[in-house]
Amino acid sequence: MNPVKRTLLIAPVLLSCVGCDQVTKNIARHGLANSEPIAFLNNIFRLQYAENPGAFLSLGAGSPENIRFWVFTFFTGIFLACMLVYLLVSPNNSKVKMISLSLVVGGGIGNLIDRIFNDGCVIDFMNIGIGSLRTGVFNVADIAISFGVVWLFAISFKASKKKPAL
């Protein structure tokens, strides 16, 4: 696939991931920050504002601030830039792989924007569960990243099933 077609495939995914993520986080910041959680579907789905200084499920949240900056902002930014360059220049990726990687990069950029402009914290605001069995609080970027990673694993699994055993 030529570079223009690759860019036309990747750009809308990136822009929609980052755009939807930032718009929903802005709504959460203004509508949920100082309120009690809002429950839907008999408390299966909840909207509740949280600022996460760590990674997925607050991993690393208790680390010193300078360590969190280097790991979650600086190195993550470098990693996302490298993934974006890979997406733009690698001619041998399938469309499905490019879209799934774009979801990961788009979600990562959405969370990176938060870290840069929100004192190293990511805004989370959704929670799903039944009773005490609940997910961590997450956001649209986390959904994009998770979906992209699961899709990549599915692609890899499907490709490995097609290869003949040695």
pLDDT digits (tens, 9 = 90+) for 59-89: 889 999 999 999 999 999 999 999 999 999 9
Full-model pTM: 0.92
**Mean pLDDT, range 145-165, rounded to an integer:** 87
Catalytic, 119? Answer: no
Measured N-to-C along each axis, helices 140-162 and 3-31 cross at an angle, to the nearest 10 degrees, of 140
165 assigned to some structural domain: no
47 assigned to some structural domain: yes
Inform me whether the pLDDT recorded for 164 exceeds 80: no
Inform me whether the pLDDT recorded for 22 exceeds 70: yes
- Give the active site residue among 21, 114, 119, 124: 124
Catalytic, 124? Answer: yes
Domain count, the chain: 1
pLDDT digits (tens, 9 = 90+) for 88-143: 999 889 999 999 999 999 999 999 999 999 999 999 999 999 999 999 999 999 99
* Cα radius of gyration rounded to whole Å, the chain: 18
Cα(162)–Cα(2) distance, rounded to whole angstroms?
27
75 assigned to some structural domain: yes
Give the domain extent around 52.
Answer: 3-158
